[in-house]
Amino acid sequence: MKKIPVVGKVVSGRGEGKKFLELGWVQRQMSDKLGFSPFLGTLNLLLDEQSVKQKRLLTKDSALGICTSKGYCTGLLFKAEVNGVSCGVVIPSVEDYPNDLLEVVAAANLRQKLGLHEGERVEVTVFLAD
């Protein structure tokens, strides 16, 4: 399995991830594909320049997809790990979605579990199928 490191700073989001994660069909797909039910919120990372390039590589990989329900966007989903905690990376397929933003989901609130603070640098290892 290929590993891609991405690095970013913890930033506050707008709460959009929580709304998406509250949907039953999203919960089921993430549980099936990642092996856990996600906490209702994402860890948002503002990526450094090199990691923006790495994220572009991810979007070209055959990721686990998030199939949509009417009125919602599709997205890419990757298994990942941050500081030894299993997680997932979600890349929404939205035209104006920021290239330098990465959303991380996990079974627990990652900010609390890992003691992360606004602006703190975090490395996420994203796993790609060979």
Read off the amino acid at residue 86: S
CA gap 26, 67 in Å, rounded: 8
Assign 86 a pLDDT band (cuts: 50, 70, 90): very high
Neighbours of 31 (CB within 10 A): 13
Query: What's the mean per-residue pLDDT of the chain?
Result: 84
pLDDT tens digit sequence for 51-84 = 998 888 777 765 555 555 555 556 788 899 999 9
pLDDT tens digit sequence for 15-45 = 666 777 777 777 888 888 889 989 988 999 9
CATH architecture of 2-128: Beta Barrel (2.40)
pTM metric for this prediction: 0.85
The predicted pLDDT at position 1 comes to: 76
Find the length of the chain. Answer: 130
Domain locations in the chain as residue ranges: 2-128
